[in-house]
Amino acid sequence: KAGVTQTPRYLIKTRGQQVTLSCSPISGHRSVSWYQQTPGQGLQFLFEYFSETQRNKGNFPGRFSGRQFSNSRSEMNVSTLELGDSALYLCASSLETQTSYGYTFGSGTRLTVV
């Protein structure tokens, strides 16, 4: 079966702009989590969506938001981009919320803010 699909793979944006990233989970998976990966901070949890509801949220400013659609696809949005938002954004899907059995990750979207 198809894996977790993230689009686009690469993105270059200017400071102050906003960006939307997309994630399609594995078919049948209803939970989607987002992580930010940077060399300095490692993997930082952004938020988790399950059945179109945000179930958990990490310690990120309100500029970072997300949503989930009825088909479980998820988008995350970052407004008023800052240079420090440059990172690899990873989406991870699982069958259920707060799963104990680990995630399936996508390949990520590499965002560069200039």
Provide the 3-class DSSP secondary structure of residue 83: helix
Residues that bind another protein (CB under 8 A): 4, 6, 33, 35, 42-43, 45, 48, 56, 58, 90, 92, 98, 100-108
Residue with smaller CB distance to another protein, 59 or 70: 59
Least spacing, CB of residue 40 vs another protein, in Å: 9
Least spacing, CB of residue 76 vs another protein, in Å: 15
Residue with smaller CB distance to another protein, 82 or 96: 96
Task: Tell me how far apart the alpha carbons of residues 9 and 5 are, in angstroms, rounded to a whole number.
Answer: 9
**Closest-CA residue to 94 (of 25, 41, 12):** 25
